[in-house]
Structure 1
Amino acid sequence: MDTPMPEASGFDHLTIATRGLASHVAVVGEGAPVVMLHGFPQHWWQWRDIGPRLAERGYRVICPDLRGAGWTVAESPRIERETRRHDLVALLDAMGFDRVRLVGHDMGAMAAMQLAYTDPERVEALVWLAAPPPFMSFSPKMLGALRHLPPLVWHRPGRSLAAIFGEAYAVRPLAPVTVETYLAPMRRPEVDAAVRWLYRGMVLPEAVRIARGAYTAQRLRPPTLCAFGRRDGAYSEADLRRLTGDPTRYADHFEFAFIDDASHFITDDAPEAVSEVILEHFARADASA
Structure 2
Amino acid sequence: MATSEPHSTGSVAAQAWSPPLPEAPGFDHRVVETPGLRTHVATIGEGDPVVLLHGFPQHWWQWRAIAPVIAAAGYQAICPDLRGAGWTTADNPEIKRETRLHDLLNLFDALKIDRAHLISHDMGVITAMQLTYEHPDRVRTATQLSVPPGFMRFSPKLLPGFQHLPPFIWHRPGASLAGVFSHRYVATPISQATIESHLAPLTRPEIDAAVRPLTRGMVLPEALRIIRGTYRHRRLTVPTQIIFGRQDHPWTEETMSHVCSTPDRYADHIKFTYIANAAHFITDDAPTAIADLAVEWFNRPA
Q: Please, what TM-score do these two structures have when normalized by structure 2?
A: 0.94
1:214 corresponds, among 230, 234, 239, to 230
Deviation digits for residues 64-101 of structure 1, max 9, x if unmatched? Answer: 00000000000011110000000000000000001000
Corresponding residue for residue 273 of structure 1 = 289
Counterpart code for 1:149: L
Counterpart code for 2:215: Y
Counterpart code for 1:99: R
1:85 corresponds, among 101, 116, 128, to 101
Deviation digits for residues 17-37 of structure 1, max 9, x if unmatched? Answer: 001000000000000100000
Distance (Å, rounded) in 1 between the aligned partners of 2:257 and 2:78: 31
2:169 corresponds, among 142, 153, 173, to 153
The SS at the match of 2:96 is coil
State the superposition RMSD in angstroms. Answer: 0.9
**Residues 1:197 and 2:227 aligned together:** no
Counterpart code for 1:260: A
2:262 corresponds, among 243, 246, 257, to 246
Alignment length (residue pairs): 286
1:47-126 equivalence runs, <5 A: 47-126=63-142
Corresponding residue for residue 36 of structure 1 = 52
Distance (Å, rounded) in 2 between the aligned partners of 1:243 and 1:150: 24
Distance (Å, rounded) in 2 between the aligned partners of 1:169 and 1:282: 28
1:274-289 equivalence runs, <5 A: 274-284=290-300, 287-288=301-302
**Residues 1:25 and 2:41 aligned together:** yes
Q: Shift in Å at residue 237 of structure 1? A: 0.5
Deviation digits for residues 86-134 of structure 1, max 9, x if unmatched? Answer: 0000000000001000110000011000000000000000010001011
**Residues 1:132 and 2:180 aligned together:** no
The SS at the match of 2:127 is helix
Q: Shift in Å at residue 282 of structure 1? A: 1.1
Distance (Å, rounded) in 2 between the aligned partners of 1:2 and 1:16: 17
Counterpart code for 1:268: D
Distance (Å, rounded) in 1 between the aligned partners of 2:88 and 2:234: 32
CA contact under 8 A between 1:257 and 1:277: conserved in structure 2?
no
Distance (Å, rounded) in 2 between the aligned partners of 1:140 and 1:242: 12
CA contact under 8 A between 1:65 and 1:71: conserved in structure 2?
yes
Distance (Å, rounded) in 2 between the aligned partners of 1:67 and 1:241: 33
Q: Shift in Å at residue 234 of structure 1? A: 2.0
Gap runs ≥5 in structure 2: 1-16
The SS at the match of 2:218 is helix
Corresponding residue for residue 159 of structure 2 = 143
Gap runs ≥5 in structure 1: none
Percent sequence identity is 55
Distance (Å, rounded) in 1 between the aligned partners of 2:258 and 2:292: 25
**Residues 1:162 and 2:193 aligned together:** no
Q: Shift in Å at residue 173 of structure 1? A: 2.4
Corresponding residue for residue 177 of structure 1 = 193
Q: Shift in Å at residue 172 of structure 1? A: 2.0
Distance (Å, rounded) in 2 between the aligned partners of 1:2 and 1:233: 36
Q: Shift in Å at residue 218 of structure 1? A: 0.5
Distance (Å, rounded) in 2 between the aligned partners of 1:240 and 1:254: 13
Q: Please, what TM-score do these two structures have when normalized by structure 1?
A: 0.98
Counterpart code for 1:227: I
Counterpart code for 1:25: V
